[in-house]
């Protein structure tokens, strides 16, 4: 039976799914916070934002332990942190991919992301009004949530795959063989996109399944895999790919120089100096001659 606005589900199966989803969310975020904190570099803003993204969403996976009326208030308050985390994730995605953007691409990405923020203000109010006052506005805004949350991440995933294929002259299979870690990150990015699409579909039918708006598990799965994609490789994608290329081709151009050597209209690295033309320095000290 579908609960009325502001009420929590009474179906034990739905409660089990929600409890599992919250436990999965909190457990995953705690592990990712620990791993990120252990690997973050001092003074790197991107790493700090990733930790903030994870921490802000943590509280929204614990409201299952409370009872009314505290549960409704706690749910709405923690939803604010989750909302900020969603927007912050898109900012992090831009910070990781913007090295491949032209100036107009950066402006378009950020302007569209900024234009989506008024929706989240309405969503925060609608969430509070639904779970605390029984107003049904949230049933209208919730189905629109994926449209204001996921397009930037879907674009980032597709654009990164395009850059790897066209800009680095490397197939995905070759990249995965060279760096399984990068391959795992790409896998998690694709999985997160799949669950984001499933969530878009689920929001249209969740009422028929008996779920209150926002309590189906697919957005949690998508969010966890998004965060995993952020934490597996903390640095921006361009620096990571350049370092990876230089690591396996050490006689080529160092990553710092390669970054400046890229053309404005292409992502391809300029041709590296052939190994035969590099004059290697003599050793500082020679071993004594054998007698």
pLDDT tens by residue, 82-112: 999 999 999 999 999 998 999 999 999 999 9
Q: Selecting from 1.10.3470, 2.60.40, 1.10.287, 1.20.1070, what CATH number does the domain 12-262 have?
A: 1.20.1070
Does the model's pTM come out above 0.75?
A: yes
CA 28 to centroid of chain Cα atoms: 14
pLDDT tens by residue, 183-212: 899 999 999 999 999 888 887 766 566 677
Q: Which two tokens stand for residue 280?
A: 């290697």
Question: Residue 167 pLDDT > 90, yes or no?
Answer: no
Task: Return the number of other C-beta atoms located less than 10 Å from residue 132's C-beta.
Answer: 15
Burial-class residue 224 by CB neighbours within 10 Å (0-12, 13-18, 19+).
Answer: buried
Q: Which two tokens stand for residue 48?
A: 């700090």
Report d(CA 232, CA 236) in Å as an integer.
11
pLDDT tens by residue, 172-191: 888 888 888 888 999 999 99
Report d(CA 46, CA 163) in Å as an integer.
21
């Amino acid at each position: 039976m579908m609960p009325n606005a502001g009420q929590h589900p009474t179906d034990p199966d739905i409660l089990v799914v929600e409890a599992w989803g919250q436990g999965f969310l909190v457990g995953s975020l705690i592990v990712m916070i620990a791993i990120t904190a252990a690997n973050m570099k001092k003074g790197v803003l991107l790493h700090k934002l990733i930790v903030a993204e994870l921490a802000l969403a943590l509280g929204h996976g614990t409201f299952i332990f409370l009872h009314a009326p505290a549960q409704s208030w706690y749910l709405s308050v923690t939803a604010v942190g989750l909302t900020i985390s969603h927007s912050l994730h898109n900012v992090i995605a831009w910070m990781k991919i913007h090295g491949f953007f032209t100036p107009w691409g950066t402006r378009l990405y950020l302007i569209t992301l900024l234009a989506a923020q008024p929706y989240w203000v309405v969503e925060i109010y609608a969430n509070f009004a639904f779970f605390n006052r029984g107003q049904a506005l949230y049933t209208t805004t919730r189905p629109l949530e994926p449209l204001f949350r996921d397009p930037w991440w879907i674009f980032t995933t597709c654009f990164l795959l395009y850059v790897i294929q066209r800009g680095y002259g490397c197939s995905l299979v070759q990249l995965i063989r060279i760096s399984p870690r990068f391959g795992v990150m790409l896998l998690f990015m694709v999985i997160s996109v799949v669950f984001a699409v499933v969530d878009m579909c689920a929001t249209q039918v969740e009422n028929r399944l008996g779920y209150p708006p926002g309590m189906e598990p697919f957005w949690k799965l998508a969010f966890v895999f998004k965060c995993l994609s952020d934490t597996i490789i903390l640095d921006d994608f361009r620096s990571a790919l350049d370092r990876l290329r230089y690591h396996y081709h050490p006689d080529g151009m160092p990553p710092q120089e390669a970054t400046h050597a890229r053309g404005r209209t292409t992502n391809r690295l300029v041709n590296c100096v052939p190994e035969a033309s590099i004059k290697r320095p003599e050793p500082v000290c020679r071993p004594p001659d054998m007698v």
